[in-house]
Structure 1
């Protein structure tokens, strides 16, 4: 299968590309720069030069492929900015336009389109199931949830449209993002922190495991399905902070929510959320059984130090 992958050189995207190539798929990866194009070509993929704002180019690549995995998002406009400085609504509107451009040329083809969403959109404080809709009372969830709805609506138009909700903890050796960012903050301030009592939970998955799951969804996922990339339903944020503190040999402290942004930066708005997430249906439908290390095992192994 020839697969067009957006976000192909990103933290999740590159392992997905490698996973597809290892299983005899042909990959056409979106590349915004010569460096990205060279990276894709060096591992055996083809590069499609363009951006997420070039809707015509995205549509052309989707039309020329047998399936699409959409991992691209303008994450660089969120990182290291305070929540107030990010127009998340605008970013999601842009993403919706990109998605729609690709899906329209796929109508009536039964080609797979796997859209990346997130578990943090779900209702807080209860176990999120695959058939549950996003929390439409929450402003951020409502915006992103509207994009899920757009994708799933194309399942009625002859596209094998699928939503993959990824967890906030995507961990692996050399992690510079979720755990890597928390570790960097701990080193910067000399303490490993959690918000309030730290009893809230986040789901987690090993990055290689996540790449396998995207491939399985592409190959086997049913039209209109929602899947959860959660190898662990929920890891307490306090346990994460304690594990980081032990690994870095620094104290562990609680930060009240009103002080959290000074420490955590843009991550603060989410780090107090309780987001336990089930993947039972995902495992059953896709035949997926996680085998890689857990989040706390990876922290103990020093994944953030490479």
Structure 2
């Protein structure tokens, strides 16, 4: 069926339902003469009269009634399907891929996803755990998670977590044979557990700060890992000093399994942000997840 045939059929149905060319024309947003021409064109093409016209009313003929009995349910079905498609467009559905660090995934993303996903069964989330600086555009991620201070200027950034602090920690057994460092340069005399950076492959220089004075310390020791989870475990085992996120070792510090040193050299800093390209047009699913992740004090 050609497009103009659908237009003609809809015109006929509207006139028959309104029983008036004037009211039907107003409903369809066209002129009465144009609508009359459309119906005559349909009657000519079918070879039968569909409407009986008088000076006071318009009524379908027997052929018109027969066509209406088929046309009404067909057009109603099409209208219902179009509405269904419109609802589907607005329905939160789809897969969202996010690149994130292990720490951010566990402390910020997962607590939200655990509550969020059961309410939206058609939303799928894929987390790629990677501490390196992934190019989310090239790697086709919808978004990434980084600390606020490491965000590119052409990205939209949404804060999703509180400020963070680092902590220099060691086990009581380690400090039983090693004096606690009082200044950053004292770390040179300690067995420190290194972090191997995934981006670039170098060892992380511990970043310490006090009253605006920033110090980067290259440490040395027997162990190196590419995850802070293992650094915390090694420090708890008494194998050296570790430099980890404070919240990773909060329980160990509270129960005495770990001891914190150089506390005054570990100020807070901007926490995690979800970032995505400014030119991105967010889907309903993506917008919902961003709002759920948004940090509220």
* Fold similarity call, TM over 0.5: no
- Pick the TM interval, shorter chain: under 0.3
Larger Cα-atom Rg: 2
TM-score in terms of structure 2 length: 0.23
TM-score in terms of structure 1 length: 0.23
